[in-house]
Chains A and B, each alone.
Chain A
Amino acid sequence: MSTLTDHLETLSNARGISGAETGVRRALRPLLEGHVDKLWVDGVGNLFAHKAGTGASPLRVLITAHMDEVGLMVVGHTGEGALRVDTVGSIAARVLPGLSVLVGEDALPGVIGVQAIHRANRGDLDKAPGTDKLAVDIGATGKDEAERLAPLGTPVVFATRFRQLGASCMGKAFDDRAGCTALVALLRGERFPFDLFGVFTVQEEVGLRGAQVAAYTVVPDVGIALEGTLADDLPKEEPDVSPTTELGKGPAITVMDRSYITPPRLLSHFVQVAEAEGLAYQFKQPGIGGTDSGGIHRARAGVPAITVAVPCRYIHSPVSMLRESDLAGLVSLVDVAARRLAPSILDRSA
């Protein structure tokens, strides 16, 4: 396994839902120490890594990747000792029944149990029950034990372990541990001509919150958000429909999503660099989803921003899948495109 997939494994297996990202911060620190000049955590939990530049460029560059994954949170306990949960971030109800989960700091194993098919009503087999009808069974024998083991607010994550399958990787939370892996790679590489602030942000999944704060702090000239984005590229009933992104076709550049629009000149810059270097790239289907660039671009007096992502199948579900070459491609594209940034590309009056 390469360093990249090694790091992806560590970060994918780390646990951290929105607002409870400690596990991911803990996994990130040792990967960064010694490679960056300063590491610190701010008031909302963003992990900042400063890598001073060579001095050749006057720019201040912010690159982000979000640490939080979507998951569940304990919101109540049943008399029988099961946990009532609600979603943190957006998860479709239909992926929950039958799910294996890990509960809390100590990763207690649990399951969102499903009634045996022998007893189910025919009519119910097609429906996805709402989260209020589901419960996590951790094997507790009563309410007291359940409350002790998993009090209100305890985070719950998918129990997926990372696996590599040839050219592909399978694991949870590639949105956005893939982005985090790419950012780690950039921070561990050669110094850039500019001052780089690599920020591992919090609470992207619940409102792009950490990124807004990070951009306010750094006051960058440009922001680049690294993501794991959706790929819906398997055969469908309607074949002539956008796949949003496709595995194996390189990093996906955002032209516009629901949270921001990439400035045209910054967009062309990334495209031109990719073409000049013969790097594979694709455009993500415009108008889908929101990313940290949505929080970054509106900070203070405004920041030109762009999101570039690794295509991942099945995001926001227990197991996602990506191609290693797309992840490596993201690192290469952002590395070269960032190094070639100049004030003239960012200046709107030129």
Chain B
Amino acid sequence: MDFELLDKLTQTFGPSGYEDGIRALIEETIVGLADEVRVDPLGSLVALRRGATGHEKLLLAAHMDEIGLMVTHVEEKGFLRFTSIGGVRAMNCVGGRASFANGATGSIYVEYREDASRVPDLNHLYIDVGATSRDDCPVRVGDTGTFVGPLVRQGTRLISKAMDDRIGCYLLIEVLRRLEQPAYDVYAVFTTQEEITLSGARTSAFRIDPDIAISLDVTATGDLPKSLPMAVGLGQGPAVKVKDAGMIAHPRVRDMLIDAAERAGVPYQLEILRGGSTDAAAMQLVRAGVPSGCLSIPCRYVHSTAEMVDISDVEQSIEVLLQLLQ
């Protein structure tokens, strides 16, 4: 596993709408691995590997953006109020740290409440960057930040913020590195703005007009204490998406992924996710419609700073994709 690459991927700043930095990193990593590389109007990075024989277009999408926050108000005493970029849960923020584009770091906390038993609203939270007044605050309204969570390897598990979806980006890069002669024209698209509107994937798919679209993203697991029932567990293999809150996978695409897993000789799981969706939900409705599906990396604690995946699930996903493309 290219642990160094994954470290750079997870730790590079890039909340939705502000993906320039992560795109530059990925662009530099895939030099020489594609026949054509371009950047779409909304900032998605598109890398084309032409097929030797087939001219069916297969789009693989992994989103570059991570969830984050944007400053909405600087109080007189220098405390910051903020709003979410993407699905940010107040519970996952309190006691954590924010990291701003300009290098400032802040402690995230919650106002004193009489009734501390209920989960607070995001607008009861604030960030302390150590300023004492509005005038000496290094951060301003409109500035963006991400949450702090370094990458740690522990046995077969990997823990980091932004596994969603930098692990998908990692998969896609590894596929480009190891892919030899694809049977399709493969469009590897590193999309923007998935966490807020899916607009990067929607617009990139419009331009490409693919025959098949597959997103690579994380999914939740059902193997935690008192978790909602879900037939996906960490370390049990990549998950082939059947259905989530935004789409029902096209049966042909779902079966192609299952087939590829069987040919690769790796275990796989079938996934139904009740809350949440991926770029595939947008891609399937582009133009006259695109048969779409998703290969998911099981991930615990999604949208927290301690997202956890398993190395074997990651490695096996790459093998499934390589089988799929030949």
Contact = CB atoms under 8 A, between A and B. Distances in A.
Given A304-B41, A348-B39, A255 B20 contact: no
B203 A348 contact: no
A302 B141 contact: no
Instruction: Determine chain A's interface SS by DSSP, over half rule.
Output: loop
Contact of A286 (B16, B39, B71, B200): B71
B193 A261 contact: yes
A340 interface: no
Interface residues of B, number: 33
Contacts of A153: none
A1 interface: no
Contact of A240 (B18, B75, B85, B142): B75
A241 B73 contact: yes
B312 interface: no
Nearest to B207: A301
A286 B17 contact: no
Contacts of A200: none
A299 B81 CA distance: 32
A287 B199 contact: no
B46 to A, nearest CB: 10
A259 interface: yes
**Among B16, B42, B73, B200: residue with most chain A CB under 10 A:** B42
Interface in A259-299: 259-264, 267, 283, 285-287, 294, 297-299
B203 A286 contact: no
A304 B193 CA distance: 13
Given A240-B76, A301-B203, A301-B207, 15 more contacts: A241-B73, A255-B142, A256-B17, A261-B16, A285-B73, A285-B141, A287-B70, A287-B84, A298-B197, A298-B203, A300-B203, A300-B206, A302-B206, A348-B40, A349-B39
Interface of B: 16-18, 20, 38-44, 70-73, 75-76, 81, 83-85, 141-142, 193, 196-197, 199-200, 202-204, 206-207
14 contacts: A240-B76, A242-B73, A256-B70, A260-B199, A261-B16, A261-B85, A263-B42, A264-B17, A287-B84, A298-B203, A302-B199, A302-B200, A303-B41, A348-B42
